[in-house]
Amino acid sequence: MVESIYFLAGRTAVRASKLTMFAKIVVTLDGSKLAEVALPYAEELAAKMSYDIVLLTVLDTHGVDEYQNYLNYAKKIQEITKYHCMKYIEDGKGKEINVTTVTREGDPADGIIKYAHSCGFPLIVMASHGRSGVGRWTVGSVADKVVRSTRYQPVMMVRAKASRSDIREKRIMKKALVPLDGSEASERVIPYVTQIASKLKMELTLLQVVPPSNHVNLKETGACLENICSQLNKNNIAANHKIKIGPIAENIIDFADELAFDLVAMSTHGMNRNSVFSLGSVAQKVFLGGNTPPLLVKK
């Protein structure tokens, strides 16, 4: 367990053990293969972190036949998910993952948001695209609304276009990129991704992109990043750091692609004068334009 790390943001210390971590994983499904691309990520997280999984669908239909067809589909996916979760638990040891299904009727985005709020502090894992037609999920519609409207629940968005036939390989998440901007707000994501990294044995790379117009002391910036990496290393988490100069969102996206990161973890509420991360600027650009699954933490 990583309970003693203090993450410094300027003169402020944030203790990981005092921050609320998610208690379960909610996977949003709509009956399509594209939406199912989120399942392997949830399975690995749940098995390694001993979290239960809720398979949630909000149907925008009142048809009896379609509703019954979905219930049959959900039961099948429930068994498949349980099976794959157990494959991550070495030698059959560890907590058996409880996988349940929840079905609601109504507007998909509103239903997902309402359910997430009702069950406390879950991690929402969803695909960026779902089925075609009326129920289609795209960044900018259901997925976009969920990211913007959840109060404090972290959201992991899996790019449906990245779906592969071998997606349920033994380990999906091996390394994560953590963009920072030197503010306390941006560093609030670190305890969350640290908890994940400690369980999944992920390597973390801290990235700070400095705009050309900002007169930032690069030596001090590097020392701050090195300090965080040292604390992570002391807790047996492999971590390194990188500083780049140029457009922030573009550098984050390009660097994630270049080094083939499995996850980009960042705070979305760095909306103070010392921070450049907020939905509407950098985080939004990474969310909309990136190719790597983002983990967005609201603080």
Give me the CATH number covering residue 178: 3.40.50.620
- Do both 232 and 115 map to the same domain? no
Confirm whether 254 is domain-assigned. Answer: yes
Confirm whether 246 is domain-assigned. Answer: yes
Nearest to 155 by CA among 277, 293, 296: 296
- Pick the range with the lowest mean pLDDT from 186-190, 199-203, 263-267, 279-283: 279-283
- Do both 144 and 50 map to the same domain? yes
- Do both 13 and 47 map to the same domain? no
Confirm whether 132 is domain-assigned. Answer: yes
Nearest to 33 by CA among 110, 111, 131, 167: 131
Tell me: the pLDDT tens digits for 268-277? 864 444 444 5
- Do both 134 and 206 map to the same domain? no
The bridge status of strand 263-267 relative to strand 294-297 is: parallel
Contacts 24+ apart (CB under 8 A), 86-95: 86/47, 87/47, 87/170, 88/43, 88/44, 88/47, 88/48, 88/170, 89/47, 94/47, 94/50, 95/50
- Do both 94 and 116 map to the same domain? yes
- Do both 176 and 250 map to the same domain? yes
Confirm whether 37 is domain-assigned. Answer: yes
CA dist 292 and 177 (Å) reads 10
Confirm whether 251 is domain-assigned. Answer: yes
Classified as helix, coil or strand, 212 is coil
Structural domain containing residue 60: 24-153
Tell me: the pLDDT tens digits for 140-188? 478 888 888 887 889 999 987 655 545 666 678 999 999 999 888 889 8
Domain count, the chain: 2
- Do both 249 and 283 map to the same domain? yes
Confirm whether 160 is domain-assigned. Answer: no
- Do both 95 and 200 map to the same domain? no
Residue with tokens 């991704």: 193
Confirm whether 176 is domain-assigned. Answer: yes
Confirm whether 1 is domain-assigned. Answer: no
Q: Tell me the pLDDT of the chain averaged across its residues.
A: 81
> Is the pLDDT higher at 71 or at 14?
71
The alpha-carbon radius of gyration of the chain (Å, integer) is: 19
